[in-house]
């Protein structure tokens, strides 16, 4: 009995000594990293039509919130692609309240990562470094600094719960590596940095799995290795378009002249897609518990490559997109109002 008491006493002593030290470590990490984290505000205009029988359409402006991290002294901010992909305007708000206009310069929607460029950078803010996500394992401590529900610069802490190699999860991100964490992630945390205990970015918060809509300890971040590969080591052209894949019975229901297509959802005004004149959806519909906007253009072909509606689209189309340079022509084929059209855009 005395032996057990001694063990419990030692355990309590260890906990009492380690907990304050861990709290200090998190406090110092937050103080060093938080100034480089931003709240991202976006605005976009949607064309909404109430029904197919109604010829009237309304232009509705809506705002979005996300998070991001300053990663260069020149004003580059890393975030999630779905936060900024189809935004008409983007702005970043720093910890002291300074708001700076920004523009999207590169985006990889298939990996849900993007970089925006700030018009200016407040003084005395040190950018955060990318860490090596390959070193992260389940059990490693991590934290997230972001803006859940717009409450900016909120810290949550936890651990790496699992690593998911490509094709490890269902959905649009099945082709990239993800880190799973139990650090609380909610709406507004998208694009926030997942930090190791050195204060380095090892992931970019992307999505959660939840039945309630709030955090249930199942948060997912795209690894820093993916960020390095798809955004920094090579070029990723920002198109300014969100789309919904039409395959199988949906492709037949939309009377596509082929097996698959990309239904345009939203288009950022001052983007290549916007300048090409692509049209987004106008009617909200739901099919098999999936909601999307109908009524927009359907992309059938990009740079001579037919859309197949599978993961191979990325491997076939992205290398061609990366080769494009100023003065080159971006050629696509679309289906609009039942007719096939070819559109060419001269890159500035």
Which residues belong to the active site?
A: 82, 112, 190
Report the helix count and the strand count for the chain, using DSSP H and E: 6, 20
Residue pair 69/193 in contact (Cβ under 8 Å)? The answer is yes
Q: Is the dihedral of CA 39, 239, 266, 179 positive or negative?
A: negative
What is d(CA 344, CA 333) in angstroms, rounded to the nearest whole number? 9
Query: CB 175: neighbour CB atoms within 10 A?
Result: 16
Distance CA 269, CA 87 (A): 8
Any residues with CB less than 8 A from the CB of 16 and at least 6 apart, and which? Answer: none
Enter the DSSP assignment of 36.
G
Cα separations in angstroms, 134 against 138, 175, 190, 231, 327: 12, 17, 21, 17, 38
Cα separation of the two ends of the chain: 80
């Amino acid at each position: 009995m005395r032996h057990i008491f001694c063990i419990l006493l030692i355990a309590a002593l260890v906990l009492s000594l380690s907990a304050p030290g861990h709290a200090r470590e998190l406090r110092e990490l937050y103080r060093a990293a938080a100034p480089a984290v931003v709240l991202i505000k976006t605005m976009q205009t949607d064309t909404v039509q109430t029904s197919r029988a109604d010829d009237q359409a309304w232009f509705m402006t809506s705002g979005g919130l996300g998070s991001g991290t300053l990663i260069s002294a020149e004003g580059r901010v890393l975030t999630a692609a779905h936060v900024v992909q189809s935004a008409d305007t983007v702005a970043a708000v720093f910890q002291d309240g300074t708001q700076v206009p920004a523009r999207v310069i590169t985006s990889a929607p298939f990996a849900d990562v993007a970089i925006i460029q700030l018009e200016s950078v407040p003084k005395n803010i040190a950018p955060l470094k990318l860490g090596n996500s390959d070193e992260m394992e389940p059990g490693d401590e991590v934290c997230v600094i972001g803006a859940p529900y717009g409450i900016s610069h909120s810290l949550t802490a936890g651990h790496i719960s699992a690593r998911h190699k490509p094709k490890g999860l269902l959905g649009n991100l099945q082709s990239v590596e993800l880190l799973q964490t139990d650090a609380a992630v909610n709406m507004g945390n998208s694009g926030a940095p997942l930090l190791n205990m050195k204060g380095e970015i090892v992931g970019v918060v992307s999505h959660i799995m939840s039945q309630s809509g709030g955090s249930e300890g199942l948060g997912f971040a795209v690894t820093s290795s993916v960020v390095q590969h798809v955004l920094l080591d090579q070029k990723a052209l920002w198109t300014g378009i969100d789309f919904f894949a039409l395959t199988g019975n949906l492709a037949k229901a939309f009377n596509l002249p082929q097996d698959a297509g990309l239904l345009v959802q939203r288009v950022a005004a001052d983007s290549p897609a916007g300048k090409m004149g692509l049209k987004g959806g106008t009617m909200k519909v739901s099919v098999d518990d999936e909601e999307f906007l109908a009524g927009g253009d359907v992309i059938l072909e990009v740079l001579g490559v037919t859309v197949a509606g599978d993961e191979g689209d990325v491997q076939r189309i992205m290398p061609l997109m990366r080769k494009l340079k100023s003065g080159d022509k971006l050629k696509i084929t679309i289906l609009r109002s039942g007719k096939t059209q070819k559109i060419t855009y001269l890159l500035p």
